[in-house]
Amino acid sequence: MSFQALQALAGGLSTDRSGPVPIAQQPHLSQQSPSLALRCAAKADAGEIERLVRDSGVLDVNSLYAYLLLCDHFGQTCLVAERASGEPGAADGLAGFLTSYLPPAKPGVAFVWQVGVADWARKQGLAKRLLGRLIGLPELAETRYLETTITDSNLASRRLFTSFAEQIGASVRNDTGYTTADLGGEHEAEKLYRIGPLPADRSPFKEL
Ligand SMILES: CC(C)(COP(=O)(O)OP(=O)(O)OC[C@H]1O[C@@H](n2cnc3c(N)ncnc32)[C@H](O)[C@@H]1OP(=O)(O)O)[C@@H](O)C(=O)NCCC(=O)NCCS
């Protein structure tokens, strides 16, 4: 992956045959949710995350207690996006979130559990920005692969992860994840997506 490709995701320059193109001339990159700030999740975010999950109508809604544990114990690998306080719309709640953790039995892997973006913040690059920031976190410095599971029917999620992989120059490998039987017989199968190897130089992602 070229340094320019990294910069593109980081909101810098991208490549084209005639050389780097300034960000202002690339609508798809310059629309990357610029007014939203990203930070690691804290205990107080659990309720808002659960609300976003519920509102999505797509994600499995887990208990508030589960989100509380994630934010409290794994907050350093979970992210939220919000408007700065005092800005218009700041009271509308979180714009988006990403939950992930480092599975102890899989060194070098970060598992992305759920990503959700509020209706009003969608299709502006926020989910991709959350993934970018995730791989720039110090906790993921030794992480070489992102894994997640996605149902075949979730086109937006498939596009999100494949597009992110393309943008950072990583491959995507599919595998059996959790079958319908694993999931109790009624839930659509969750296929495993493995993205990597991740770029060695994460510096462009730290400030996303
Ligand atoms: C999936 C979701 C997180 C995407 O958030 P977002 O901020 O709108 O996504 P982005 O703007 O970063 O777009 C990422 C890529 O996905 C594509 N995409 C986003 N929404 C899409 C949709 N509804 N259908 C098809 N592609 C879609 C974008 O075009 C983009 O690809 P590109 O850069 O190649 O054009 C959001 O739609 C959501 O919260 N959905 C409900 C919850 C969910 O399904 N979460 C994922 C599973 S954990």
**Sequence ranges of the domains in the chain:** 1-30, 31-205
Distance CA 41, CA 57 (A): 22
* Among the listed residues 163, 57, 53, the one whose alpha carbon sits nearest the alpha carbon of residue 113: 53
Residues forming beta bridges with residue 178, ordered by sequence position: 190
Instruction: Compute CA 28 distance to the chain's CA centroid, rounded to the nearest angstrom.
Output: 17
Rounded to two decimals, what is the model's pTM? 0.88
- The 10 Å Cβ neighbour count of residue 171 is 11
Least confident of 25-29, 81-85, 184-188: 25-29
Whether 127 lines ligand 1, by a CB cut-off of 6 Å, is yes
pLDDT of the residue at 142: 97
Distance from the alpha carbon of residue 124 to the mean position of ligand 1, in angstroms? 9
Whether 37 lines ligand 1, by a CB cut-off of 6 Å, is no
Indicate whether 47 pLDDT > 70: yes
Query: Average pLDDT for residues 109-132, to the nearest whole number?
Result: 97
Whether 128 lines ligand 1, by a CB cut-off of 6 Å, is yes
Query: Average pLDDT for residues 58-83, to the nearest whole number?
Result: 97
Whether 36 lines ligand 1, by a CB cut-off of 6 Å, is no
Indicate whether 45 pLDDT > 90: yes
Query: Average pLDDT for residues 140-151, to the nearest whole number?
Result: 98
Q: What is the topology classification, in CATH, of domain 31-205?
A: Aminopeptidase (3.40.630)
The token duo for 113 is 């559990």
Q: Please name the residue whose Cα sits nearest to atom 15 of ligand 1.
A: 160
Distance from the alpha carbon of residue 52 to the mean position of ligand 1, in angstroms? 14
pLDDT of the residue at 34: 61
Tens of pLDDT, residue by residue over 79-105, are: 999 987 767 777 778 999 999 999 999
